[in-house]
Amino acid sequence: MTYPDAVESSTIAEMEETIARISSHKGVEGVMIMDRRGAIIQSTLDEEQTSTHAMILSELTTKVSSIVGMLNQDDELTFLRIRSKQREIMISPDNDFLLVVLQNPKSIE
Amino acid sequence: MTYPDAVESSTIAEMEETIARISSHKGVEGVMIMDRRGAIIQSTLDEEQTSTHAMILSELTTKVSSIVGMLNQDDELTFLRIRSKQREIMISPDNDFLLVVLQNPKSIE
């Protein structure tokens, strides 16, 4: 896997640890780390799923971040959770990166 | 308060009960019920805040619903949670309506 130039190797090691830890949780179907523009840094999904999710979810996060700032200019998005009948998408923006976790709620119950 | 024609009085009574129950929870700063296009049915926010939130959040919910269907056409949005530094916005689509709860996470801790 190739990384955007700005990602340092210590950061990558941390990300790999984070992904391994989250993936081991029950019901977790996929974990992705990307930059704010949707460039993939790490993903446990297949290539097609990764690129579809990265594009759509990075755009959505940008939109929601701007909505949060529009409703209150001192405010900032910290976590976005999209629950649907089939699964749950959790997006956690952290400085330059987005951490995305896809979870199947049925397999936790 | 005027209601869209389609809203029956039994439904309104239920909504008023729902709003009263949710508003009594600690940290809840506002509760709104609107239709899918953002027409307000009930709100505990002031007029300006209500109309700003209704417009922005109904549009956002439409967008997120379409994203959920785009990622998996058998899937459907059931709950959207936007956590920010200052507060939390929870949107629960239920048939023709959207229930929006604004909560201050700091006042719960």
Cβ within 8 Å, pair A85-B75: yes
Residues A15/A78, Cβ–Cβ less than 8 Å: no
pLDDT at A30: 95
Give the tokens for residue A70.
Answer: 């529009």
Q: Is A73 on the interface with B (CB under 8 A)?
A: no
Cβ within 8 Å, pair B82-A68: yes
**ipTM for this prediction:** 0.86
Cβ within 8 Å, pair B76-A56: no
Confidence of residue B108 (pLDDT cuts 50, 70, 90): low
E strands, chain B, are: 28-35, 40-43, 77-84, 88-94, 97-103
Confidence of residue A8 (pLDDT cuts 50, 70, 90): confident
Residues B102/B89, Cβ–Cβ less than 8 Å: yes
Instruction: Pick one of 4.10.640.10, 3.30.450.30, 3.40.50.920, 3.30.2130.10 as the CATH number of A10-19+27-107.
Output: 3.30.450.30
Instruction: Pick one of 3.30.450.30, 1.10.260.40, 3.50.50.60, 3.40.50.720 as the CATH number of B10-107.
Output: 3.30.450.30
The per-residue pLDDT for range A52-90, each reduced to its tens digit, is 999 999 999 999 999 999 999 999 999 999 999 999 999
As a whole number, the mean pLDDT across chain B is 89
Closest CA to A29 of A44, A40, A42, A15: A44
Chain B residue closest in CA terms to A84: B77
pLDDT at A17: 87
Least Cα separation, residue A90 to chain B (angstroms) = 9
pLDDT at A81: 97
pLDDT at A10: 75
